[in-house]
Structures are given as structure tokens and as C-alpha cells.
Chain A
Amino acid sequence: MNRYADPASVRELVRPDRIHRDVYLDQAVFDLEMSHLWRNAWVYVGHDSQVPKVGDFYTAQIGREPVIMVRGNDSKVRVLPNRCAHKGTKLVSAQHGKCQGGLLRCPYHGWIYRLDGTLRSVPLKGGYSEEVQADALHGIGELNSHNYRGFVFVRLAAQGQGFQEFFGESLTSIDNMVDRSPEGRLEVAGAALRYMHDCNWKMYVENLNDAMHPMVAHESSAGTAKRLWDATAPGSPKPMVIEQFTPFVNDYEFFEKMGVRVYPNGHSYTGVNFSIHSKYSSVGEYEQRMYAAYGEERAKAILAEARHNTVYYPSLTIKGAIQTIRVARPVAVDETIIESWTFRLVGAPEEMLARTATYSRLINSPTSMVGHDDLHCYRAIQEGLSSASSDWVSLHRNFSAAESETVAGTYGATNEAPMRGQYRAWLDLMTRSESAVP
């Protein structure tokens, strides 16, 4: 029996201004996250441009659920359990590909499904009674999914919050990322950088809107880049890599004034007023193409919105201003895969994609000097928290007892409000009664 099976014991782990270390360390808590939180939340699966044609599929693991994102004969993108209704064999094992003949055929006994998850045929079907044929042979079913401007999410629980209700106004960050394409369309540009993090998934998610760490953790990388550039070519135009590195070591005042907005259900974004991306040089004809597409006033408004990181709790973090996303895929209590995807702004000059690809590599790759120090800190927390000197992890910074139940609001960005908001959501998603498998 899971020692946290009683919701009352889970509630003991979260206080308004602190959390118990078990949320990062305990296998029983992780098991509950898999069976509750990752099933009750709307979790990012993939982008519909990864399956451009009928029969194209992409596979992912959502919590413990292996899923297939597939484009059906009606062009609709669906998310199906990647599990044969017979013996449970995964129907497809490749990361992505095309369903032969527009059907999903189990590699073991040849059960065949249509792209909407319904069963098409079973070899020697007569071996099953008419009763079983009527009741049991109904296919693998379709999961609750929602395609928001190309971004496909799934809620594994049969009942629960609707998509719009769960994300609410935080969807404006996806809007801004898509609107940055002169055609209002994004395309995934190739494969993801996949970075194995030997830490709990929440350390990564919390860090995205932690504005108190860059000037400390990234001094050795971004600070060195800034110093070398200042010494070699003072005043000359910065190469793209220097432009991308140096704002990481801006001062506390910069990060405080950038601002953070916290939404209900754990979502938030930093960069309400400006961000580390605000001062990037313009690239080629991009701005002209945006003016032509939207009119100058509207285009300028889109480009002026340069949000830093938006967290779509618990799985997706995006940087619309530089067209990259990072996806957290928990593997174990102390193991998480972080995927970084780069996007093409359809209709924009190709140099924009080079800028995106450069940023992903510099900041999000397993070879990233910035990433090395972030992951070092997450691992150091994972190891440090085994200390029995305290059970509690502090989220006190700028805490006020008057904070609303969801912590929603706009704050100076060095506030730990986004993390407090995440743990209110965490508790809610962990203790909702409805987590039934559809």
C-alpha cells in the first residue's frame, strides 16, 4: 500500500510557504504523481507538424502511459494508447514514422486498428464468441486530446478539468509564439535535443521561472563569454552567440523588473515587461515580412512581447520569443528526460531558424555550459535533501499570508510565487478523486 495513499498525508507535504523534501525524494510520492498528477493534468504530447500527412505517427510517454499521436484519414490528429487490446504489445516502437496502409497492425498477433483507434480486424475472429466480439473487441480507444494552434495535449483521466479551464489566459504565450510567424504557423524543425537529467522533474520545472539563479549559476559560462567579448572587440557588433549568452549575467535589478505572472493551476511566465530576449538584433527581412502580414502596429505589438519562460504545468515550458520549447518527461523519481525542440516560423527568413537552433544548442543541449551548471544544482539538491537536518524546502521569498489560494497575480520576477503556485496546483492535481483510466 502506498504510504501516501491517504490524501490527508499528501496535504501534509505542502504548506503555503514551504514543501516537504519527500516531494522530490520519495518513490511513493512519485508513484502517486504518475497515477494522479500526470493523469489529471493536460500534458503536452507533440506538435501537429510532426505528423503532417495522414497515417504519420509520433510516439511519446506521458507519465507511465505510452501513447501514439497520429493523423487520421479525416486529417484530425488523435492521441491513442500505444497498447494492443489483446496482450498489451506496443503497436509501434519507432519515435516517429508512417503507418503502413494507413492502419496500425500489432507486430505480435496481427490485430489491426484504424487510425481512430477502432478495431478493424482480428485474424481467425471466429475463435472469439459472439459475446466477446460484441463486448471486448472494441479497439484501443482514443484519449482526450486537444490541439491548440498546433500544440497537442492529452488528459489521460476520463473526467476532469477542460483544456481551456486548465490553461486559461496562460495560452497567450503560445498565441504570441505562433503569431511571430508571418503566416501564423509553426513547424517543428527536425529532431529534439534530449538531455538526461538525473534529478526529479520538478527541479527543472521550478527553475524555469527562478530569476534569482542566473547571475550565480551562470557566471562561469555567460560571464566568461561576456568578459572575452568585451576584452577582444569592445563596442563592435556582438555575434549572435554573445548576444544570447550575455543577458544571463544581467543584475538582480534586471531580473526583478522583468516581472512574473502567475496563473491558476501552476502556470506562469517571466518577462512580463521585458526579458533576456528583448534586445536581440533584428534578423534579415523578418520585421518587414511581419509588417506586411499583420500591419505595422499589430506586428510591433507581437514582437514587443518577449516573454522569458512560460511554464505550462507540469510538462511544457516554452520560449516563444526564440521559438524553442522544452518538455519534461519524468522517468523515475530521480531521472527526467528534457527534450528541446526548435521551431520554424513559417514565412520567416531562414536566418530566424538559425537563431533558434543556436540558442537551443548553447543553452539546452547536453553539451551546454549553461545546462551543465543548472543540472549540477538540481543534482546537488537531490543529494543535499537526503540530509535529515531539515524536512522542509523554503519557498518563502516575498511570501505573504494574503496570497490568493492559487497565488495568481503579477509580481517582481525574483518572487518565489511561481513555485508556490506550482505546489498549490501539485496538491490539487495529486488529490483530485477522478483519476480513472478511460
Chain B
Amino acid sequence: MTSAVEFLYHEARLLDEKRFDEWYELFSDDALYWMPLIRDQPIGEAHTSLFYEDKLLLKVRIERLRHPNAFSQQQPSYSQHVLQQPMVVESGADQCVLRTPFIYVEAQLDQQFILAGTVFHHLRGNEQGWKIQVKKIELLNREAALPSIQLLL
């Protein structure tokens, strides 16, 4: 089995290469892709989030990106993830939590913006490899008025 750290670099590469179907398969069926809006936000939907997506919503997002009438993607966006060395902050027999500070760049023709933050991956492993159970993205400037974030961090 690949190491959890290698797995995370692979995940980021799939996103930046827009290999979304392969990326989707990295998630467990009960996965949560979450970007909280406030600091120390508890998990759940008592407060709104920037992302709080199950696999169904991630599927909608991926399918929409390649829809011929996804007008905001007529001019396609591209992303670049720059990851700092992931650190294992919790580990058990078949699961672990990794903390990874990152820089994320999203570009669309003449426009480009940069986001920074820290991502927490909750991974579960078995003989087939790792699956992401929770991906929680803590944006540095989550209070800011943000532009359209069209791709996936």
C-alpha cells in the first residue's frame, strides 16, 4: 500500500490534472468534503459552510464542470495545489488523520487568485489502499469576500 503521504500528493495531482473521476473514487461512500465558514466550526449543518458535500453533490459538481452549458467554464479554469509536507496527527490500526498546509491557485484566462489554508484528511485503509472519509479544508481568509471558487481544493 502506498503511504498516506504519497496518497495525498497523488490526490492533489489528480485535481490539478482534472482527472475528476479518478479523484472521486478516492472517497469512501460516506465521505464528507467540507470547507467550514467560521473558525472552530463544529461538524454538522447548524452553521452554513463554504463546502459541505457528500458523494452525490461531488458527482453533480464533476458532471457539471463538463456540461456543455456550464457557462462559467466556457473559458476553463485550472488549479495548482502546492502542499507542505503532510504530518500525521492521529493514527490507528487502519486509519489516520493528516494535516497539510497548502497554497492553492485557481486561474482562468487573465484572472488568477490564491488561497492558503490547512487541509485535514481523515483516511481509512485496507488491502486495496486508502479512502478519504473526511476532507476538511480550513481556509486562511474564510471571513473574506471570496471570488467564485470553481474547482476543488
Q: Residues of A at under 8 Å CB distance from B?
A: 95, 189-191, 193-196, 198, 217, 219-221, 223-225, 228-229, 239, 241-242, 245, 337, 340, 342, 350, 353-354, 356-358, 360-361, 365-367, 369, 371-373, 375-377, 380
Check B30 for interface membership: any CB of A closer than 8 A. no
Q: How far is the CA of A195 from the CA of B146 in the complex (A)?
A: 5
Min Cβ gap B55→A in Å is 11
Check B112 for interface membership: any CB of A closer than 8 A. no
Given A196-B146, A198-B147, A354-B45, 12 additional A-B pairs, CB 8 A: A189-B46, A191-B143, A193-B48, A193-B50, A219-B69, A228-B60, A241-B56, A357-B45, A358-B48, A367-B149, A369-B64, A376-B148
Q: How far is the CA of A357 from the CA of B44 in the complex (A)?
A: 10
Check B140 for interface membership: any CB of A closer than 8 A. no
Residues of B within 8 A of A380 (CB): 71
Q: How far is the CA of A229 from the CA of B35 in the complex (A)?
A: 24
Min Cβ gap A388→B in Å is 22
B147 touches A196 (CB 8 A): yes
**Binary flags per residue of B66-88, CB closer than 8 Å to A gives 1, else 0:** 01111110100000000000000
Given that A228-B59, A361-B50 are contacting pairs, would A190 and B37 also be in contact in the complex, using a CB cutoff of 8 Å? Answer: yes
Q: Mind listing 5 A-B residue pairs with CB under 8 Å?
A: A189-B48, A224-B64, A361-B49, A366-B148, A375-B72
B63 touches A228 (CB 8 A): yes
Check B28 for interface membership: any CB of A closer than 8 A. no
Q: How far is the CA of A372 from the CA of B143 in the complex (A)?
A: 19
B145 touches A372 (CB 8 A): no
Q: Tally inter-chain residue pairs, CB-CB below 8 A.
A: 110
Residues of B within 8 A of A354 (CB): 44-46
A190 touches B38 (CB 8 A): yes
- Please report whether the interface of chain B is mostly helix, strand, loop or mixed according to DSSP: loop
Name A198's closest neighbour in chain B (CB-CB): B147
Given that A361-B49, A361-B51 are contacting pairs, would A221 and B147 also be in contact in the complex, using a CB cutoff of 8 Å? Answer: no
B72 touches A376 (CB 8 A): yes
Q: How far is the CA of A356 from the CA of B146 in the complex (A)?
A: 21
Chain B, range 86-135, C-beta contacts under 8 Å to A: none
Contact partner of A361 (CB less than 8 A), chosen from B52, B56, B64, B70, is B52
Residues of B within 8 A of A369 (CB): 60-61, 64
Q: How far is the CA of A353 from the CA of B147 in the complex (A)?
A: 26
B71 touches A377 (CB 8 A): yes
A358 touches B45 (CB 8 A): yes
B50 touches A365 (CB 8 A): yes
Q: How far is the CA of A219 from the CA of B60 in the complex (A)?
A: 12
Min Cβ gap A87→B in Å is 28
Min Cβ gap B65→A in Å is 9
B60 touches A194 (CB 8 A): no
Check B144 for interface membership: any CB of A closer than 8 A. yes
Residues of B within 8 A of A224 (CB): 60, 63-64, 67
B46 touches A350 (CB 8 A): yes
Residues of B within 8 A of A366 (CB): 50, 146-149
Min Cβ gap B149→A in Å is 5
Residues of A within 8 A of B69 (CB): 219-220, 223
Residues of B within 8 A of A377 (CB): 71
A357 touches B50 (CB 8 A): no
Min Cβ gap B52→A in Å is 6
Residues of B within 8 A of A353 (CB): 45-46
Residues of B within 8 A of A373 (CB): 70-72
Min Cβ gap B63→A in Å is 5
A228 touches B56 (CB 8 A): yes
Check B5 for interface membership: any CB of A closer than 8 A. no
Contact partner of B47 (CB less than 8 A), chosen from A189, A241, A242, is A189
Min Cβ gap A111→B in Å is 29
Q: How far is the CA of A13 from the CA of B69 in the complex (A)?
A: 34
Residues of B within 8 A of A365 (CB): 48, 50-51
Q: How far is the CA of A219 from the CA of B46 in the complex (A)?
A: 29
The 3 closest A-B CB pairs, nearest first, are: A376-B72, A220-B67, A357-B48
